[in-house]
């Protein structure tokens, strides 16, 4: 039986540690190429090296990128970098895992503290999904009526 993740390209934001790191490792071990990003380039690179060592098959590529997902310009740069690094025109999966803790009181905390938390945990998916309009294995755009499987975009950080 073929693994569903084999041969696919996934993005994992916040992949430098914790749940994101383990997700990158497990995806690569199941034959999925992965582009991961984190605020900290050294942790993203360590994750990519760990996952590449665990990769199932010679065709699996794991890349690391530096990106603040609350900054749209950085997310767009990350998207363009990963598509070039993976010689891809689309993404199969985007795991919106990046997030930070709040630590402020919901009742008495300052609004800007909560906005900072929400910016990190809810913003990163749209720019990633903007370039997934081509159907895998065809030249037909998704809007052409050709039946295509949509890319999945789970938000893990909320």
For 69-103, how does the pLDDT look when each residue is reduced to its tens digit (9 = 90+)?
A: 888 899 999 999 999 999 999 999 999 888 766 66
CB atoms within 10 A of CB 2: 7
Q: Would you state the pLDDT for residue 139?
A: 40
Q: Which domains does the chain have, with CATH numbers?
A: 9-134 (3.40.50.720)
The residues, any chain, with a CB within 8 Å of residue 41's CB and separated by 6 or more, are 64, 66
Mean pLDDT score of the chain: 79
Q: Would you state the pLDDT for residue 3?
A: 86
CA atoms within a 13 Å half-sphere pointing along the CA-CB vector of 57: 16
CA angle 107, 110, 114 (to 5 degrees): 85
The distance in angstroms from the start CA to the end CA of the chain is 33
Residue 42, phi then psi, degrees to nearest 5? -70, -35
- pLDDT tens profile 18-27: 999 999 999 9
Q: How much is the pTM?
A: 0.73
- CB 28, CB 1: distance < 8 Å: no
Residues of the chain falling short of pLDDT 50 = 1, 124, 130-153, 155, 157-158
């Amino acid at each position: 039986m073929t693994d569903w993740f084999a041969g696919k390209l996934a993005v994992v934001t916040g992949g430098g540690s914790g749940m994101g790191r383990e997700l990158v490792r497990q995806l690569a071990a199941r034959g999925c190429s992965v582009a991961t990003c984190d605020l900290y380039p050294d942790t993203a690179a360590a994750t990519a090296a760990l996952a590449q060592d665990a990769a199932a098959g010679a065709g699996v590529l794991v890349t690391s990128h530096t990106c603040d997902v609350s900054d749209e310009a950085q997310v767009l740069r990350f998207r363009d970098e990963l598509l070039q690094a993976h010689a891809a025109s689309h993404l199969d999966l985007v795991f919106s895992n990046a997030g930070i803790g709040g630590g402020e009181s919901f009742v008495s905390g300052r609004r800007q503290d909560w906005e900072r938390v929400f910016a990190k945990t809810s913003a990163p998916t749209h720019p990633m999904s903007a370039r997934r309009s081509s159907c895998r294995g065809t030249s037909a755009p998704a809007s052409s009526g050709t039946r295509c499987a949509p890319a999945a975009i789970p938000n893990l950080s909320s």
